[in-house]
Chains A and B, each alone.
Chain A
Amino acid sequence: MSHPAPRTIVCAGGGGVGKTTTSAAIALALARRGHRTLVVTVDPARRLASAMGVEVGENVMEARVEGGIEDKLFALMPEPRRSTRTFIDLLFEDEPEAKARMLENRVYLLLADAAAGMHEVVSLMLVAKAIEERRFDYLVVDTAPSRQGLDFVSYPGRLATLYEGRAVTWLGNLSGRPDTSDDGEVRDESGGLLAAGRKRIESLFGKLLNPRTLRDLAGLFAELAIVKDRFARLARVSEQLLVGPTTRYLLVAAPTGSAAADAQFLSRRLKRLGQHPTALVLNRADPSFPAWVDELPSEGMPAELTAALEVVRGDFATRVRAGDHLALSLKSDLPRTPAVRLPTLEARDPSRIVRTLADLLGPHLGLLAGA
């Protein structure tokens, strides 16, 4: 890499907690401080993309959320439906014939379509490419909205082991293709001979798949073997971005039914990855009624407005209660993780929400981003 690697902030959390908006707001707050920041979201919301003045796609675009931060804020929001194709475009750039065969391999099209994590890996590969091309101070990664969101932290490494070892070549040689490995025999990590094992596995494959499909499957891995060095390199760059020593992990939660349980699950998951959550960001966890509610006249208002105000007060009361509940239960689950508690933001224009959230997060950048 010709530039210093950016510092990475990974935002994780269950669905519906405002993770994508939070990621955008942290990136904006960093950009306001003059840091060149790239925000990547693997679950693109078109409305947020357009609010940030970018398009969902495979290119890094400069975001336009407000004036005064020119050349500081960038976004990458790859389209999930294109990742099967993008994967091939990225890997087989210099191998047009293999690329053409890949695009016709029915097993690839099925497996890639059904592969959980494919889109995350492709997104990370696009990031790896982007940061080779230009310098960024910060990278903010918005993960998939689920408990599995963090799995992709380990995904590049898992895929890299498929490509770095002999598995790809071994699979590419299934169904009677001549063995091209140097000594004609393949050893597993423990050193055992697997040449005899192959016959046995092949016969088991034969029970599961018909010969043509097995040939397609072997063919797929034979093509992948051609680009395995390129793949392993991109996978390792992505892995370093995600698990580097300066990476920070933010757990985002909100008062949804499962938020506290999700945050606890994700923090256990992080521990297994040898990491720990840097901070909790609690969205829609209003610490109190906003001051303006008490400034409204308490009597003498028309009946409709009084009724509307009842609804609004009821909403706020619920939010404060839910926010207290969330903050308390996370404090007992994760007592050592500092929390930033944020109010519910409502506005018709999503870019306004991002700007307001960035105002609120700005004072906490030291904690959230080490900035």
Chain B
Amino acid sequence: MTDGSHAAAPFPPLASIVLVTGKGGVGKTTIAAGLAAAAAKRDGKAVLVEFGDGDSGKRVLAGARSSGVMHEVVEPKTALETSVGRLLGSRMLAKVFIGNFAVRRMLRAAPALRELAMLDAVGHIADKAKGRRVVVDMPATGHGLAWLRLPLQMRDLFGSGGLYELSERLVHRLVAPRACSVVVVTLAERMVLQETLELCSALEKEVGMPPARLVVNRFPQPIPPGAIEQARALQTEAGSQLVELLEAREAARSEALITLGGASSLGVQLRPLLLPQAGFDPNAVQVADWLVSQEAA
């Protein structure tokens, strides 16, 4: 385990499309914005792609308006109409198809096609960006993996037809380490970490995309050795409260390091990037500077 201050082995460069995934609430959007801001600083421009309403991206980019990061919001309904329109040769036909009373209900119950269409939208945004970095803020863990599996599963299932061709295209455009890198964001909590390492392993085994970076956000600062013993020696009620707090804190920290240290047993060969805990969550520019300082941008 390194503390990230001296690079053991350099990180491999990131591909032009970067998918950022992880459990909800770990700071995925902030890291995604930081990766985009770092690329924008280097290349002049970069794109941050967000699914849904675009609120989160706007929030984290608020402090980085002039950073050259373009914010693209992929809205499910539009993405579906555009994708199906391309397959059927006309957007009008797509509307007829999607608007059919039974098809509409089927799509609401099983949104796989809509999700494929949203990945298709990412592919087209990347084509337009002409090699500039496109960072995608993916949905939370399990769902993010399911999305990446989708093109492979659909390709294998369909065999031929328009959706087969779309899936095949996406497998090459997105589910390929040369075209696309995955960055996994997590926290130093044992359960979250364990789940994250399983995700890393599943990404490699199930979709052939080992993560290119593992960012452990809000990593707690160490406390000086001996402090817990000294707090115990106070032998007051306040002292024992302090002991309990310090112990819980150290336990969380060392458990996290142990879990990360055991990552290789899961086949995860990845040096974790530990982003130290600060008062408030950092903004996109601060994360970008940190990533650059770690030679991980």
Contact = CB atoms under 8 A, between A and B. Distances in A.
Interface of A: 14-17, 45-47, 80, 106-107, 110-116, 145-147, 158-159, 161-162, 165-168, 170-171, 188-189, 194, 197, 200-201, 204-210, 212-213, 221, 256-258, 261, 265, 290, 292-293, 295-297, 301-305, 307-309, 311-312, 314, 318, 321-322, 346-348
A116 B190 contact: no
A247 B234 CA distance: 49
27 contacts: A15-B23, A15-B26, A111-B112, A114-B112, A114-B147, A115-B109, A146-B139, A158-B105, A158-B108, A170-B101, A170-B102, A171-B102, A189-B101, A201-B102, A208-B87, A209-B163, A210-B161, A212-B159, A213-B158, A257-B30, A295-B236, A295-B237, A295-B238, A302-B226, A304-B224, A308-B223, A322-B280
Contacts of A305: 224, 226-227, 230-231
B109 A162 contact: yes
A46 B249 CA distance: 20
A304 B187 CA distance: 27
Given A162-B109, A201-B103, A348 B251 contact: yes
Main secondary structure of the interface of A (DSSP, over half): helix
B281 A201 contact: no
A295 B224 CA distance: 21
Given A110-B154, A115-B112, A292 B238 contact: yes
Given A16-B187, A308-B231, A346 B245 contact: yes
B139 A348 contact: no
A194 B244 contact: no
B106 interface: yes
B147 to A, nearest CB: 8
B257 interface: no
Interface of B: 23-27, 29-30, 52-53, 55-56, 59-60, 84, 87-88, 93, 96-97, 100-103, 105-106, 108-112, 115, 139-140, 142-143, 146-147, 149-150, 153-154, 157-164, 187, 190-191, 221, 223-228, 230-231, 234, 236-239, 241-242, 244-249, 251, 279-281
